[in-house]
Chains A and B, each alone.
Chain A
């Protein structure tokens, strides 16, 4: 029991150490720095696949971060950097899918499903209110609705 806090302390130190060591890139001005951070967080590390370039310790991620830095310094726009990455690694490298005919269903499906759901809900509610209205109708002489 007495050990637990020490283990936790070491774990916390290690976590801080890796977080600090991973990407120490400093861009010359805050606006570029913000764009650099945003871009490296929305590009996938192709080797580890579920990590972003910013979070990944592997060599390839460092090389790709270098590309992002150099291209931003050369005055390229965020869109140009994304385009450059996708031309080499495919759309898979973009954590945020692009609009395209191939993934149109990805963008189209949610509103369509919402409309279908709304229609079903509307029909159900209408049927129920009709049933309730029938219930409320005065009974005829035989006691039937």
Chain B
């Protein structure tokens, strides 16, 4: 009896370790962001629709915002555009765009043709700002709280479900507890 119990125990242990490994495998898509729970990177970048102005993180303090990393070269960004427009219509949380390594005039055309879901769009021509946020593919969306802390990161196309299941509960829970 004991002869089989030990190998069986070892097998179960090994299976558990491997199962945890597979569950947390980055191949499943999500690489946990080290930014979660930390202050959002400070930035001051040219405004896409009004290049004379700057979009500044300092101006965003004091209320919730979503930072959406996109580009006209990104197919998934087109797929999520309708969901972003709905966020804009809901009006609960402002969307700030980060136009990542893009052509400015193409980006402006995109917003005119498809509609503009953003309160303002910051231009990241060099790609340095995206690196500060640990972005490794567009689209990515960050939820930042009034204290300027990153509380959630969504990787891939933003959907209606992301909004109702991930964003709204976080924002309204904080509102209910008075922060």
Give residues in A with beta carbon < 8 Å to B: 46-47, 49, 59-60, 63-64, 67, 86-90, 92
Contact = CB atoms under 8 A, between A and B. Distances in A.
Contact of A88 (B26, B101, B126, B132): B132
Given A88-B132, A88-B133, A92-B26, A63 B127 contact: yes
A89 B101 CA distance: 19
Contacts of A86: 34
A88 B127 contact: no
A89 B35 CA distance: 8
Interface residues of B, number: 18
A47 B131 contact: no
Contact of A60 (B31, B32, B35, B136): B136
Given A46-B31, A59-B101, A88 B128 contact: no
Contact of B127 (A47, A49, A59): A59
Contacts of B35: 88
Nearest to B135: A60
Residue among B35, B126, B134, B137 with the highest chain A CB neighbour number at 10 A: B134
Contacts of A64: 131
A137 B35 CA distance: 71
Contact of A89 (B27, B34, B127, B128): B34
A88 B34 contact: yes
Contacts of A87: 34
B131 A63 contact: yes
Interface string B122-158: 0000111011111011000000000000000000000
B33 interface: yes
Given A63-B126, A86-B34, A89-B136, 11 more contacts: A49-B27, A60-B131, A67-B131, A88-B34, A88-B133, A89-B31, A89-B34, A89-B134, A90-B32, A90-B134, A92-B31
Contacts of B27: 49
Given A47-B136, A49-B26, A60-B136, A90 B34 contact: yes
13 contacts: A46-B31, A59-B101, A59-B127, A60-B137, A63-B128, A64-B131, A88-B133, A89-B34, A89-B134, A89-B136, A90-B31, A92-B26, A92-B31
B31 A47 contact: no
A1 B117 CA distance: 59
Contacts of B134: 88-90
Contacts of B31: 46, 89-90, 92
